[in-house]
Each structure stands twice: as structure tokens, then as C-alpha cells.
């Protein structure tokens, strides 16, 4: 019923306040069951929510329900309309006298005006939901916090022609037709869940169906739902889903628990995908693939994200988070699990290299900048800003370190204990660590600092040798840099995998061992060492730290050829390249012979996997080189890298051509071998382009034209896009003409141009932002152009400040539509401390301009104000 007086009352939207971890209190009211009735309509959807509520403990608090962007049309308690409710901020406060009541609210929402893509929204004519972290409150009034678990039943009614498919969490119960072309469906989810896992989808969708028999013999029907025209692109995702289900049974003993598992792909999505119980909703880029439109990288990412969301069914859904400070409990652990899955599908070594490169590209900069925060943060203003590389990727490294410290058997005993003990509850990071301790008997007291201290530890390692005493001495010291709010740090536990090799014979002088450095410094002696030893340290990237060692260029070159840990071998080569590049960026000159010889040896080693070779011979990115310097000089770094690329290209031209040809003829197959050869092929092509050989651009265009798959085509386009050859425009035009109706491939067309190292990239990107196919309403498109440009170090940091202005202009515009996506793109501006005074001033000025924009979202206020501190 409509209460006139209250319908005029508007909730106050409060200024941003910090929410603190230490303030956690248990919910005052629980909601054992929730019944939702949706009358779906894109412009006016009615939602009736019936909550059974029970008082939690002995208190007199009223019921407080979260809501956002909506007003109640009616409120009933135990079947009777009430009007003694009020707003506190955006919370609806209802006094209740007894210990158990039934509360019913009705609201109306407009999915077709929802540009934030949180709550119920329209995408491509269909309706879908996104509730993590706080989207459910945009659908109905509810205690929208992860520790209130409820059993949901849902009824949807909609126009049948427009929305023939109606999906929700759990299992389907019944469906039927109504008069006037409408129909309905009921779904029931028997598992209590927090509101952030709620989902419905209504639309005109087709399904690719499969089935999976679980380890206890239950049959689960699997469905990937997409637009009809995209059905042919869903086989890879469906296969990945079945593989993930089998892997989680074999690796963690975890079985799926409902009769159906549905995935829906939508084009407009703020993140990658969402693990809603039994009804995952995905960004279509992580579902749709065929050889003509998806690269090997896309195929790998699809399998990884499908696995990630599936694994959440246990690490996230069956056991959820008590509060959002515990986000890494589900995300760090689930990333660790999906990394393990991907490693088992292909090359473990290459997967580790890719993951570490990702960590260094996104998490290390975050951990050393103004937005640094611990894996378990102490406070936030807007939780959406905390879906970060620190929570996800550093969080996964923490789990990896515990697995290394415990060993595989104890680790599995720990996860078994954790899953069994906390099943059906909302748990904490502490619960996870305590399970590991209890199962293994290993004390992790000091290890817990990894959850509370931000910042990437720096480890210095120096090895000396006394031939007379036949002794090697390793001196280790650690330092954790200050981060916002944490000026002084205690030493952490660093698990360091270490090995020594003989410099002359190349043989192992000691077996690999795991050293746990837990103090500020330590000296370790190795006895009986006659030969001069070379140190291999942090093998497999056993701890997420920066290693500063005094190893000579000759020793690094030696390790790049002889280390038996592929990661350490890659790392030695990277270090060698980095030292050369940093020297050349700061002095303008450097000797390239050492790197060229090491790359030549790697290219010619017949025992190496092509995928590994491709990784090892790739130069570190401009931004990673910048991260090694105190004040980043983008132009000098570009020149240094470009010079080394050219020298490598010219001096090893024969080898690059051989590698390029070797990968040439076989037809496309998505196999580890095929992927490795294609990766090497495009890396080689880029070096041939760098050599400036007269036929290079023609060779690239030939690869572009002759490709039977997107990996080779995009590889050729990337090689061409930084050149001034006429073939560049030919390839770009043909690419556009061929794919202009495919949004995911068109994203690649925008992104590749934004990544170009040509001098005119800033101008090209500004023109692309006015292209008819550019839009800020689609997050993938916005990220493809704006995000890729802000990651292009030299173009973004143009000394006239045009790059900063461009980013700020677009973030201000995007914030009005979609604050979450805008705020995620802001961090590059916050790196001002690492640049010269002129650039720093220009960057700060843009941050100030953003911060003082009237009506700025809470998401952006938090990111921009913290970035200025």
C-alpha cells in the first residue's frame, strides 16, 4: 500500500565515511527465508519481497534494511500495513516488537535506466542482475551484508515473447503461461546464501547444454546461455566448466551440490564474471570464443574465469565472508585455485611466469602507491574500490606461501578442515589460517602479518665464497617499505626456495631448499662448497617480494642458460635485461652484447618449449622498467627499450626469421604446442619489425592476411600498429571492415591502437574517443580505449599533460554513468610521486579537478582523495 506521507520522504545520501573492520558487529536480525516476486518490465519492474526475520540475540534494535536508489511503495509487518518506519541515511528502519516477524515491502525499479550495472539492469535487451558487493539493495530492501544468509525462493513474471527464458539461483520448480502473452517461472535455492549471490536473468537466450556426473554419481545439467547467434562460440566455455568440476573433485575433494549449473553471458558487465549460486553471470568476453575471433590468450582467460567462478561454489558460496574486509578469504583462495587449474591444463612454468608478470604489472605498483592496502584492509569508504590486485593476486600469493610452508599433504588437510568446519557459514581470513595451523601443527602467528601489513617486502641477498674454508655464506636482509597509515613494519615470514650451482660445471652444489626468513636479516652457511657458487633464489617466485642481489651480469647470464627451475631461468634473463635497460635509460648508453648473447642462446636451445622461449626473450614492459627507477623518465625508458629491441632484432635477424617460419604452417589447434608456437611466432615477428628489415611490414601483413586464427592476426596487427609503414593502415582498415559488427573484436581494434608506441598515439586515441563505435556505456569498450591508453607509459605521460587531461575528462564523464568502472581506471593518475615535478603537478591538478567535480560518486571521491595524499 502507498503511504502518502512517507512516499514524499527521500533518503539522505550521506557524505563518504570510512567503514572500519574493528567496528564489526553481528547482525541484529537474521532472515531465514526470503520470497521475491518480480513483475519484470524494463522501465518499471515491481519487486515484492517477503522476509521472515528473527531477532539475533538479546537486544531491542529495530530492523534496518539497506536500500539504494528506490523508495518503498508499501511496507507490511505480519500482513498489516505499517507507517511507523523512517529512513536513517538510505536505510529503512522498521520498529518490531516481537522476536520473529514477516516483513513485506514492495518497490518499483527501472532496469533500463540503470547505467551503473549494479542491481537489476538491461543489457542487449535482456535483464540481468549484479549484486556483489552491494547491488542487492538496488533491487529491494534487505540487510545487504554477507553474514546474513537466507533461503531464497523466486517467482518471475514477464512478457513471454520478449523474455522467453527466466532463470534464477538454485533449481527450477515450476513455470506456466498467463493471459496477455505473459508467463512465469519459479526457482528455489535450498542453500542459504548472502544477498550478494542472488541473481536472476530474463531474456531471449539460447543454451548450449551439457552434463556432468559428480564423484558421488549425481547428474548435473550444465547450460551456457547466450544470444542465439553466439551459440557456436560456447563449446570452449562448456568444456572448461566440466574440466573445472572434475578438477575440484580430484584436487580438493569438492563436489557440486545443485541439479543445474547455468552460466549467462552479457555484453555489459563491470567485472569479469560473478559466481551467483547456480547461476553465474559472465562478461561475454570470458565466454565467447572461436578461432576467428578469440586469441589463445582469450581462450586461456575463458577457462580460467569459468574455473574461478565455479570454484567459488565452495570457496565463496558454501563458505562466504563474514564482512567485506575478509574479501580475500574467498578471492585470494579462489585465484590460487584457478591458477592451479590452469597450470594443470598446460605448462606449469609458463603459467607461473604469466601470473608473476601480472602481479608485477598491477599489484606491485598498487602496493607502492597511495592506494596501497593490506590483503585484509582496515577500512574502506566504497567496497567496490577494494576488488583489487592486492585482494585477489597478492591474496593468492599468501595462500601459495602457506601451501609451500605446510607442504602438499598438510595443505590439503588444512583445506579439508576449513571446508568441513565452516561449511554454511560466513567466515574470516583468521578462520582459514587457523585451519591451516590446526591441520599441520605449524605455527603461523608471524605469517599473519601478510594479512595486515601492506607493501612489497624488499629482500637483499648476497652470496660470498671462501674456497679455503670450502664455505659459501648467504646474507639475507628484508625491509618492508612504509605505506599509507603504516609507517613502521615488522619483518615478515619469507619462504625462499634456494639452490646453488657451480659456476664452472653448472651442476647443483646443494639441493633446492626452502629457507624461512623471519627476522630482519640472517646469515646462512653452506659447507663443503669447493666450486664458486651461483645463487638461484626465490625460485618459482616462492615469495612475492622484490629481490635485490649483487649477482653479476655474467652470473645472471649463466642462470638464464643453466638454472633447472624455469621460472628462475626466466627471472635471470629479465634481471639481465632490466639492468641493461635501467643503465641505458639513465646514462643514454649501454652495452647490449650480454643480453643479445643470452637471448641467442635461449632461442637456439633445442630443449626449450617455444612458449617458454617466447616469454624469456620478451623485454620487460616500459612501466616495469619505470618501477625500477626512483623518478620515471618515460621518454628515456622508451628510447632505451626501443634501442635494445632494435639491436636484438637486427643482430638476431636470422634466428627471428627461423623462429617465425618454424611456427608457420600448421593449421590452428588450441593445444599447448600450438599455443607455444603461435606465441613465439608473434614475438619473433615483432623483433623482425624492430630490425627495420625492408620486407618486415610486408611479412607482418602476410601473417595478418594469411592467418587462420585471431592470435596470429592480432599478433601481426600489434607488430604493425607501432610502425609508420603503409601496411599499418591497411591492416587496421581490414580488421575494422571484417569485425565491425563484433563488439569483442572491435574492443581489440581500439585497444591495439591505444597501445601503440608511435609518437601520435595521444592524438589517435583522442580521435578514437570520437569514433561512432566508441561508447562509455559499455565497460569493455571504455577499458579497451581509456584503460589501455592510461597503461601506455610514454603516450599517457606526454609532457604537455594531454594524456592526463584526456583521462580525467573521460573519467568525469564515465562517473556520471558508471562510478565503479570509472573509479577502477583512476589509479594511473595517482602515481604522481614517481614522476618529475612538472608531470607530478599536472597529474595532481587533474586529480584535484576530478575531486572537485560536483556530484562526484563516493567511488571516485575515495580514489581521487586518497591518490592526492
Query: In terms of CB distance, is 401 or 823 closer to ligand 0A1?
Result: 823
Query: In terms of CB distance, is 274 or 294 closer to ligand 0A1?
Result: 274
Q: How many angstroms separate the first and last alpha carbons of the chain?
A: 49
Kindly report the backbone phi and psi dihedral angles of residue 604, in degrees, each rounded to the nearest multiple of 5, phi listed first: -95, 0
The one catalytic residue among 104, 134, 309, 354: 309
Cell numbers linked to 510? 646443494
Query: In terms of CB distance, is 300 or 309 closer to ligand 0A1?
Result: 309
In this structure, the number of other CB atoms found within 10 A of the CB of residue 177 comes to: 10
Query: In terms of CB distance, is 306 or 401 closer to ligand 0A1?
Result: 306
Those residues with Cβ within 8 angstroms of residue 28's Cβ, 6 or more apart along the chain or in another chain? 55, 56, 57, 59, 61, 63, 64
The residue ranges that bind Zn ion (CB under 5 A) are 331, 334
Cα separation of 801 and 255, whole Å? 54
CB 309, min distance to ligand 0A1, A: 6
> What does DSSP say about strands 200-203 and 126-130: parallel, antiparallel, or unpaired?
antiparallel
Query: In terms of CB distance, is 118 or 700 closer to ligand 0A1?
Result: 118
What's the Cα-to-Cα distance from 453 to each of 371, 389, 456, 481, 487, rounded to whole Å? 13, 15, 9, 10, 10
Q: Which strand ranges, in their side-by-side order, compose the sheet holding 533-537? A: 508-517, 494-502, 533-537
In this structure, the number of other CB atoms found within 10 A of the CB of residue 737 comes to: 8
The residue ranges that bind ligand 0A1 (CB under 6 A) are 130, 132, 270-275, 308-309, 331, 387
Query: b or e along 69-100 (b: 16 or more beta carbons within 10 Å of the residue's beta carbon)?
Result: bbbbbbbbbeeeebeebebeebbbebebeeee
CA-CA-CA-CA torsion sign (309, 310, 312, 318): positive
Give which of Zn ion, ligand 0A1, none residue 130 binds (C-beta under 5 to 8 Å, depending on kind): ligand 0A1
C-alpha 43 chain-centroid distance: 33
CB 334, min distance to ligand 0A1, A: 7
Query: In terms of CB distance, is 90 or 132 closer to Zn ion?
Result: 132
CB 381, min distance to ligand 0A1, A: 16
C-alpha 290 chain-centroid distance: 23
φ/ψ bin of 455: left (φ > 0), alpha (ψ from -120 to 50), beta (otherwise)? left
CB 808, min distance to ligand 0A1, A: 23
C-alpha 117 chain-centroid distance: 18
CB 315, min distance to Zn ion, A: 9
CB 316, min distance to Zn ion, A: 7
Strand, helix or coil at 613? helix
CB 362, min distance to Zn ion, A: 15
Say whether 309 is catalytic: yes
CB 694, min distance to ligand 0A1, A: 48
Give which of Zn ion, ligand 0A1, none residue 271 binds (C-beta under 5 to 8 Å, depending on kind): ligand 0A1
Cα separation of 841 and 849, whole Å? 12
Cα separation of 823 and 845, whole Å? 17
Give which of ligand 0A1, Zn ion, none residue 225 binds (C-beta under 5 to 8 Å, depending on kind): none
> What does DSSP say about strands 171-177 and 80-81: parallel, antiparallel, or unpaired?
unpaired
Those residues with Cβ within 8 angstroms of residue 225's Cβ, 6 or more apart along the chain or in another chain? 165, 167, 201, 205, 206, 207, 262, 263, 264, 265
Give which of Zn ion, ligand 0A1, none residue 272 binds (C-beta under 5 to 8 Å, depending on kind): ligand 0A1
CB 667, min distance to ligand 0A1, A: 34
Query: In terms of CB distance, is 300 or 331 closer to Zn ion?
Result: 331
What's the Cα-to-Cα distance from 241 to each of 238, 245, 369, 508, 798, rounded to whole Å? 5, 6, 37, 42, 44
Give which of ligand 0A1, Zn ion, none residue 273 binds (C-beta under 5 to 8 Å, depending on kind): ligand 0A1
Query: In terms of CB distance, is 267 or 331 closer to Zn ion?
Result: 331
Query: In terms of CB distance, is 42 or 119 closer to ligand 0A1?
Result: 119
Q: Kindly tell me the burial class for residue 18, based on how many C-beta atoms sit within 10 Å of its own C-beta (0-12, 13-18, 19 or more).
A: exposed
Give which of Zn ion, ligand 0A1, none residue 274 binds (C-beta under 5 to 8 Å, depending on kind): ligand 0A1
Q: What is the DSSP letter of 707?
A: -
Query: Looking at the annotation, which residues are catalytic?
Result: 309
Amino acid at each position: 500500500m502507498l503511504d502518502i506521507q512517507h512516499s514524499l520522504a527521500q533518503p539522505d545520501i550521506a557524505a563518504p565515511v570510512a567503514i572500519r573492520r574493528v567496528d564489526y558487529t553481528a547482525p541484529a536480525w537474521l532472515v531465514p527465508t526470503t520470497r521475491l516476486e518480480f513483475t519484470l518490465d524494463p522501465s518499471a519492474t515491481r519487486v515484492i519481497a517477503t522476509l521472515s526475520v528473527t531477532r539475533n540475540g538479546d537486544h531491542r534494535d529495530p530492523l534496518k534494511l539497506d536500500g539504494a536508489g528506490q523508495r518503498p511503495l508499501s511496507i507490511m509487518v505480519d500482513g498489516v500495513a505499517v507507517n511507523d518506519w523512517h529512513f536513517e541515511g538510505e536505510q529503512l528502519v522498521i520498529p518490531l516488537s516481537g522476536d520473529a516477524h514477516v516483513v513485506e515491502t514492495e518497490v518499483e525499479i527501472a532496469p533500463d535506466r540503470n547505467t551503473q550495472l549494479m542491481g537489476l539492469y538491461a543489457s542487449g535487451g535482456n535483464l540481468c542482475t549484479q549484486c556483489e558487493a552491494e547491488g542487492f539493495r538496488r533491487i529491494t530492501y534487505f540487510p545487504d551484508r554477507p553474514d546474513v544468509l537466507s533461503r531464497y525462493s523466486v517467482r518471475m513474471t514477464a512478457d513471454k515473447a520478449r523474455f522467453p527464458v527466466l532463470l534464477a539461483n538454485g533449481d527450477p520448480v515450476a513455470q506456466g503461461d498467463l493471459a496477455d502473452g505473459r508467463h512465469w517461472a519459479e526457482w528455489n535455492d535450498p542453500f542459504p546464501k548472502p544477498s550478494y549471490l542472488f541473481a536472476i536473468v530474463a531474456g531471449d537466450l539460447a543454451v548450449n547444454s551439457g552434463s556432468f556426473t559428480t564423484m558421488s554419481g549425481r547428474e548435473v545439467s550444465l547450460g551456457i546461455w547466450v544470444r542465439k547467434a553466439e551459440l557456436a562460440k560456447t563449446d570452449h566455455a562448456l568444456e572448461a566448466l566440466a574440466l573445472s568440476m572434475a578438477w575440484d573433485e580430484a584436487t580438493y575433494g569438492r563436489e557440486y551440490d545443485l541439479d543445474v549449473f547455468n552460466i549467462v553471458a552479457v555484453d555489459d558487465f563491470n567485472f569479469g564474471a560473478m559466481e551467483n549460486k547456480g547461476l553465474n553471470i559472465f562478461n561475454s568476453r570470458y565466454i565467447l570464443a572461436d578461432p576467428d575471433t578469440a586469441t589463445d590468450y582469450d581462450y586461456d582467460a575463458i577457462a580460467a574465469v569459468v574455473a574461478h567462478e565455479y570454484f567459488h561454489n565452495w570457496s565463496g558460496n558454501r563458505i562466504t565472508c563474514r564482512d567485506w574486509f575478509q574479501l580475500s578469504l574467498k578471492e585470494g583462495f579462489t585465484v590460487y585455485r584457478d591458477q592451479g587449474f590452469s597450470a594443470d591444463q598446460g605448462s606449469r612454468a609458463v603459467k607461473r611466469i604469466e601470473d608473476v608478470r601480472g602481479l608485477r604489472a598491477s599489484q606491485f605498483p598498487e602496493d607502492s602507491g597511495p592506494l596501497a592496502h593490506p590483503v585484509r584492509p582496515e577500512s574502506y569508504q566504497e567496497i567496490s574500490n577494494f576488488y583489487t590486485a592486492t585482494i585477489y593476486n597478492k591474496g593468492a600469493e599468501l595462500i601459495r606461501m602457506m601451501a609451500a610452508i605446510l607442504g602438499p599433504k598438510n595443505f590439503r588437510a588444512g583445506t579439508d578442515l576449513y571446508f568441513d568446519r565452516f561449511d554454511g557459514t560466513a567466515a574470516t581470513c583468521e578462520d582459514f589460517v587457523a585451519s591451516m595451523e590446526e591441520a599441520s601443527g605449524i605455527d603461523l602467528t608471524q605469517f599473519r602479518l601478510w594479512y595486515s601489513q601492506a607493501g612489497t617486502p624488499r629482500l637483499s641477498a648476497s652470496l660470498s665464497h671462501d674456497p679455503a674454508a670450502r664455505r659459501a655464506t648467504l646474507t639475507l636482509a628484508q625491509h618492508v617499505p612504509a605505506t599509507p597509515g603504516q609507517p613502521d613494519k615488522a619483518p615478515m615470514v619469507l619462504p625462499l626456495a634456494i639452490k646453488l650451482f657451480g659456476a664452472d660445471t653448472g651442476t647443483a652444489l646443494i639441493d633446492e631448499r626452502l629457507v624461512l626468513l623471519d627476522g630482519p636479516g640472517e646469515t646462512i652457511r653452506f659447507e663443503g662448497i669447493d666450486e664458486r657458487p651461483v645463487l638461484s633464489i626465490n625460485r618459482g617466485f616462492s615469495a612475492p617480494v622484490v629481490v635485490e642481489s649483487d649477482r653479476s651480469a655474467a652470473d645472471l647470464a649463466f642462470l638464464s642458460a643453466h638454472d633447472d627451475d624455469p621460472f628462475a631461468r626466466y627471472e635471470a634473463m629479465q634481471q639481465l635485461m632490466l639492468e641493461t635497460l635501467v643503465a641505458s635509460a639513465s646514462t643514454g648508453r649501454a652495452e647490449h652484447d650480454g643480453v643479445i648473447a643470452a637471448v641467442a642462446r635461449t632461442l637456439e636451445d633445442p630443449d626449450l618449449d617455444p612458449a617458454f622461449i617466447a616469454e624469456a626473450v620478451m623485454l620487460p614492459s616500459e612501466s616495469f622498467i619505470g618501477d625500477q627507477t626512483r623518478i620515471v623518465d618515460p621518454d628515456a625508458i622508451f628510447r632505451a627499450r626501443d634501442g635494445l629491441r632494435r639491436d636484438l632484432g637486427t643482430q638476431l635477424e636470422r634466428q627471428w626469421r627461423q623462429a617465425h617460419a618454424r611456427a608457420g604452417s600448421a593449421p590452428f589447434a588450441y593445444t599447448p604446442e600450438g599455443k607455444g608456437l603461435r606465441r613465439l611466432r608473434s614475438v619473433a615477428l615483432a623483433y623482425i619489425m624492430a630490425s627495420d628489415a625492408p620486407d618486415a611490414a610486408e611479412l607482418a601483413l602476410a601473417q595478418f592476411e594469411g592467418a587462420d586464427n585471431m592470435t596470429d592476426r592480432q599478433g601481426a596487427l600489434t607488430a604493425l600498429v607501432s610502425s609508420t609503414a603503409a601496411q599499418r593502415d591497411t591492416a587496421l582498415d581490414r580488421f575494422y571492415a571484417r569485425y565491425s559488427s563484433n563488439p569483442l573484436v572491435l574492443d581489440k581494434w581500439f585497444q591495439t591502437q591505444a597501445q601503440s608506441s608511435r609518437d601520435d598515439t595521444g592524438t589517435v586515441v583522442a580521435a578514437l574517443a570520437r569514433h561512432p563505435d566508441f561508447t562509455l556505456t559499455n565497460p569493455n569498450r571504455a577499458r579497451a580505449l581509456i584503460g589501455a591508453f592510461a597503461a601506455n607509459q610514454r603516450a599517457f605521460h606526454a609532457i604537455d599533460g594531454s594524456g592526463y587531461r584526456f583521462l580525467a575528462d573521460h573519467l568525469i564523464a564515465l562517473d556520471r554513468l558508471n562510478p565503479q568502472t570509472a573509479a577502477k581506471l583512476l589509479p594511473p593518475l595517482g602515481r604522481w610521486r614517481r614522476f618529475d615535478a612538472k608531470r607530478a603537478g599536472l597529474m595532481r591538478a587533474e586529480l584535484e579537478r576530478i575531486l572537485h567535480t560536483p556530484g562526484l560518486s563516493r567511488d571516485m571521491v575515495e580514489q581521487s582523495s586518497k591518490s592526492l595524499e
